[in-house]
Structure 1
Amino acid sequence: MQNILIKVLVNAVAIWVATAVIPGVEVSGDSTGRTIVTLLVVGAIFGVVNAIIKPVVKLFSFPFYILTLGLFAFVVNALMLELVAWLSDQLSISFTIDDFFWSAIGAAVVVTFVSMVLNLVLPDSD
């Protein structure tokens, strides 16, 4: 359980950094507390999408991973972020991404690197 909470927190921090750095990616709330809760919910949705849908997408896009020497991972992460933005809209959660190419791919790069750094720093509780 603690491992899941750490992953949600890492996702939320990574998405928060992406909203701070990349124009066109926004998470909003009425207050700071609501914004934090929204980030945590978006982080949880992103974790579920990464656990369920991302492996299937990676399987079918494996040739593109080979052709691009792994850089296609940023496109897949951007697709997952777009899916999270769509799901958030359906659930009335205020997480938006303006456009795919600059905003979503830029956010995917930021989220990937921030998650990687935080996963190296934080202990693994397995």
Structure 2
Amino acid sequence: MAGLILTLLVTAVSFLIISRLPFLGIEIDGFGKAVITAIVFGILNAILLPILTVFTLPLIILSIGLFFFVLNAIIFGLAAAIVPGFSLRYGFWSALLGSIALAIINSILLRLVAQFT
């Protein structure tokens, strides 16, 4: 349970970091909205990603796995549509770049936290 809460907080901080990058076009109102966004994003990833993966398996195979970036962008965009106070200025491109930046920053922060715990 503590690991889940720690991952949630790291993801919320990652959302705040990517919202401060000016070229992505991602806007989050504050830390509270970032936590809600991290929760919604995690739930959407847990529920929708396996379903979308099954339906788009031929595209994933043809693109050698690169279509997963599109699936993550779709989930990122859905989270932006659900959570008020989390918006994407440039639509799909913000979602695509934001999901890539989130994965990179989240993995870096999780490794840093894992070293200190």
Q: TM-score normalised by the shorter chain: which range applies? A: 0.7 to 0.9
Within 5 A, what are the aligned runs for 1:91-102?
A: 93-102=84-93
* 2:50 matched residue in structure 1: 55
Structure 2 residue 100 is the aligned partner of structure 1 residue 109:
yes
Counterpart pick for 1:87 among 76, 79, 82: 82
* 2:14 matched residue in structure 1: 14
**Gap regions ≥5 residues in structure 2:** none
Within 5 A, what are the aligned runs for 1:20-35?
A: 20-21=20-21, 22-28=23-29, 35=30
Q: Percent same amino acid at aligned positions?
A: 28
Aligned-residue CA RMSD in angstroms?
1.8
**Gap regions ≥5 residues in structure 1:** 29-34
Counterpart pick for 1:65 among 55, 60, 81: 60
**Number of aligned residues:** 114
Q: CA deviation at 1:10?
A: 2.5
Secondary structure of the structure 1 residue equivalent to 2:74: helix
CA separation of 1:122 and 1:70: change in aligned 2, threshold 3 A? farther
TM-score normalized by the length of structure 2: 0.85
CA separation of 1:59 and 1:10: change in aligned 2, threshold 3 A? farther
